[in-house]
Structure 1
């Protein structure tokens, strides 16, 4: 009898464990997506090249690179056109400036895209939060209507 109770308890724990893990993986109640919320990326997650020099972080101080980042990051630009602009930019640089300027371009593109991605993620969270508020308001109204009956 005690053995059956133990087996049932273990079976119950095994069935509930995936749900507990799923809840632990998503600590943000406003995040409606199945995928885990990752609000910020690191360059190492997408860049397999060598570490960028610290000077690459100053990309926004270079007007040419700043303008190119804005142009390349536009969603309307086709990939082939963006690649051509990058090749043309690289070809226009003197040899001693090629590596540092291209590193700045990589850092600039990453910073711009990560900021844009963060805005989208914030928008999704705001939308989901408003949906939850609206659902709560509708439940309250339904409860009020039921109380009037």
Structure 2
């Protein structure tokens, strides 16, 4: 019961965020509404010591295989439940051992999350650069339109480029919601994995 209460508090702390979950627009690398959390902590999700002893080869292989399943996002967690039951039947439900499973699952999903967040940062900076380019094109067009002898060929070329850049900018912006949700979904998956393993440990 204590573990479940600990997990609920930890989930609320990280998934919902400590004060405020609005976007911090002072960080140009983070365009998301969700609060930026650079690193996740195993200790906030798993209340037991992690077994760092050398495990028998067959146990180590089983831990690696089960953690690999948990790290596959295309697999729903209820699809992995039979594999977890089989693991417990073969190797026991020691919280330290199940903690080793969680630790490996955590490392894999946290690495994926870091890669995605790096991509979001690059995405944001490229959007800023594109926005600046759009502004420069508009300024040049404005200057050409008020010139004594407007260069209409250049204006036409700039207009075509402006249409293209604005379309790209808008398409990227529309995909932003999905991109920004992905790190949060990974956090939620990790908490759900911890809950499954804790339930198995508590029988």
CA contact (8 A) 2:67 2:104 kept: yes
How far off its partner does 1:67 sit? 2.8
How far off its partner does 1:41 sit? 0.3
Q: Paired residue for 1:101?
A: 97
Change in 2 beyond 3 A, CA 1:135/1:148:
same
CA contact (8 A) 1:26 1:37 kept: no
Is 1:148 aligned with 2:144? yes
Helix, strand or coil: the match of 1:70? helix
Q: Where does 1:61-140 land on structure 2 (aligned, <5 Å)?
A: 62-93=60-91, 98-140=94-136
Structure showing greater Rg? 1
Change in 2 beyond 3 A, CA 1:22/1:110:
closer
Q: Where does 1:48-63 land on structure 2 (aligned, <5 Å)?
A: 49-55=47-53, 62-63=60-61
Runs (5+) with no aligned partner, structure 2: 1-19, 55-59, 146-203
Helix, strand or coil: the match of 1:40? coil
4+ residue segments displaced more than 4 Å? none
Could you state the TM-score of these two structures normalised by the residue count of structure 1? 0.67
- Segment drifting more, 63-72 vs 78-87: 63-72
Q: Paired residue for 2:38?
A: 39
CA contact (8 A) 2:42 2:106 kept: yes
Count of residue pairs the alignment pairs up: 120
